[in-house]
Amino acid sequence: MNLTLEVWRQENSTTPGGFVTYTVRDISPDASFLEMLDVLNDDLVRKGEEPVAFDHDCREGICGSCGIMIDGRAHGPQKGVATCELRMRCFNDGDRIVVEPFRAKPFPVIRDLIVDRTSFDRIIQSGGFVSVKTGGAPDANAIPIAKNAVDEAFDAATCIGCGACVAACKNGSASLFVAAKVSHLALLPQGQAERDTRVVSMVAKMDLEGFGSCSNTYACEAECPKEISVSNIARMNREYLRFNLITQK
């Protein structure tokens, strides 16, 4: 396949960026999108030019490092995959593809397609955990957990923290990301002790980091590579309301 790429190039967070046009040739339809970018970078390096910087690592859809807006869609046209899993067979020979970083105020561009998503880490640090010190945990089977509860918790916990939900949202909201962690822990008995403080601090942190509000467009669910359900956002809102109406008298 031969393709034309419009790639966002930006040297660092302080200099303005812009699109640069490149062509790539003889791309195998079995190659992944990132492997196609590898081919582009190989050409650039051979010419002595700076390659396009993009985050990537495991290349099997689980580390959450990669994240590229492809033709205006987070992780590209295919549903339920991260950029590294996207195969070139989803495109046609001769296509023109627009390649941009995930854009949101709390995700400043570091270089080219790399953005800083440490705002996600700071949200987790504000309460996305169960406070258990090492040692002294009871036997793993001491508390039975209904299979459907743990399965639902798992579905939320499968979030890879890539930021596609934020990039897809017109408000730049991190609601799906935060809700996935709130749900995961609220559904398990181990998460109960800190259930109230967790949701309140995580939501406050999300606002403080500059993420927008949720207006129920469901764009996040549509673009999530792990297909995490927006019903988690409803659960997060219930948890939040529960604290404000019932717990906090």
Partner 1 sequence: MALESRIPSGPIEKQWDAHRFNLKLVNPANKRKYHVIVVGTGLAGASAAASLADLGYHVTAFSYHESPRRAHSIAAQGGINAPKNYSNDGDSAWRLFYDTVKGGDYRAREANVYRLAQVSGNIIDQCVAQGVPFAREYGGLLDNRSFGGAQVSRTFYARGQTGQQLLLGAYSQLSRHIGAGTVKFHDRREMVELVLVSGRARGIVVRNLVTGALEKYSANAVILATGGYGNAFYLSTMAKASNATAIWRAHKKGAYFANACYTQIHPTCIPVSGDYQSKLTLMSESLRNDGRIWIPKKKDDSRSPEDIPEEERDYYLERLYPSFGNLVPRDVASRRAKEMCDKGLGVGPTKTAVYLDFKDAIDRNGKGWIEEKYGNLFDMYHEITGEDPYSTPMRIYPAVHYTMGGLWVDYNLMSTIPGMFVLGEANFSDHGANRLGASALMQGLADGYFIIPYTIGDYLATTTFDPVDESHVEFAGALEAAQGLTERLLAIQGSRTVDDFHRALGKTMWENVGMGRNKEGLKSAIDSIRKLRDEFWQDVRVVGSVNGLHNEVERAGRVVDFLELGEFMARDALHREESCGGHFREEHQTADGEALRNDKDFSYVAAWEFGGDGREPKLHKEPLTFEYVKPAQRSYK
Considering the complex, what minimum distance in angstroms separates the CB of residue 72 from partner 1? 22
Stretch of residues binding partner 1 (CB under 8 A), selected from 91-99, 113-121, 171-179, 234-242: 113-121
Stretch of residues binding partner 1 (CB under 8 A), selected from 146-154, 165-173, 214-222, 234-242: 146-154
**How many residues interact with partner 1 (rule CB under 8 A)?**
82
Partner residues linked to 74 by β-bridges: 69
Q: By CB under 8 A, what part of segment 202-221 binds partner 1?
A: none
State the Cα–Cα distance between residues 221 and 223, nearest whole angstrom. Answer: 6
Residues 6+ apart with CB under 8 A from 112: 7, 8, 9, 10, 17, 52, 53, 54, 101
Q: By CB under 8 A, what part of segment 36-95 binds partner 1?
A: 36, 38-39, 41-42, 44-46, 48-51, 53, 55-65, 80-81, 85, 87, 89
Which strand (E) or helix (H) includes residue 9? Answer: strand 3-9
Residue closer to partner 1 (CB basis): 49 or 241: 49
Considering only residues 120, 169, 228, 233, which one is a binding residue for partner 1 as defined by CB under 8 A?
Answer: 120
Considering only residues 134, 170, 245, 248, which one is a binding residue for partner 1 as defined by CB under 8 A?
Answer: 134
Considering the complex, what minimum distance in angstroms separates the CB of residue 169 from partner 1? 20
Considering the complex, what minimum distance in angstroms separates the CB of residue 220 from partner 1? 19
Considering the complex, what minimum distance in angstroms separates the CB of residue 244 from partner 1? 23
Stretch of residues binding partner 1 (CB under 8 A), selected from 97-105, 117-125, 206-214, 240-248: 117-125
Would you give the binding string for partner 1 spanning residues 7-46, x where CB under 8 A is met?
Answer: ----xx--------------xx-xxx-xxx-xx-xx-xxx
- Burial of residue 9, with CB atoms counted within 10 A of its CB: 0-12 exposed, 13-18 middle, 19 or more buried: middle
CB 32 within 8 A of CB 84: yes
Q: What Rg do the C-alpha atoms of the chain give, in angstroms?
A: 20
Q: Quick check: 5 binds partner 1 (CB under 8 A)?
A: no
Neighbours of 211 (CB within 10 A): 26
State the Cα–Cα distance between residues 84 and 34, nearest whole angstrom. Answer: 6
Q: By CB under 8 A, what part of segment 149-208 binds partner 1?
A: 150-151, 153-154, 157-158, 160-161, 184-185, 188, 190-191
Range list of β-strands (E), 38-134:
68-70, 73-74, 96-101, 109-111, 114-115
State the Cα–Cα distance between residues 107 and 69, nearest whole angstrom. Answer: 13
